[in-house]
Structure 1
Amino acid sequence: MARTKKINATIVWNDLEGGFWGIIDENGNEWLPVNLPEQLKSNGKKARLMIRESEEGSMFMWGTPVKVLAFET
C-alpha cells in the first residue's frame, strides 16, 4: 500500500525534458506530482502538502511520483 505523508515543500519549475512541475521538501527530497493543483503552479511557492506515492510511471527522470491529496498555502 502506498504511503501517505505530510510535507513542507517548495514548488519548482524544471526546464528539463520539455519542462515540468516538481516539489522539493524541507529535507531536499524531490517529488514529482502527477496532479499538481493549478493554485500551486507558481515557481518558488511554499505549501504544506499531503501526498501519497503514486504507482503511475513518468517519462521524467526526476523525483518520486506522488499524488497531491490536500494542501495549505
Structure 2
Amino acid sequence: MRKPVKKVSKKMRKSDFEEKFEKMVGEYHIAKEVLDSLEEGTTEYAKKKKQCDILFASAERFINTYQ
C-alpha cells in the first residue's frame, strides 16, 4: 500500500505574512526618508519618488492578495 500524500497548504502562515510585510514597510520607510531629504524638482527626487510609489503599490498588492 502507498503512503497517503500530504497536501501542501498554499496559505501563508500569519507569522510569515507579518515578517514579509514588516520588511516591505521597512524598505518603504527608508526610501521615504531619503526622498524627504532630497530637494523637490530634481531628477534624483523623481527617481526616488517613483521608487517609493512602486514600493507602496507592492505592499498594497501584498495586503490585498493575502487578506
TM-score (norm 2): 0.22
State which structure, 1 or 2, has the greater radius of gyration over its C-alpha atoms: 2
Higher strand share: 1
Higher helix share: 2
TM-score (norm 1): 0.21
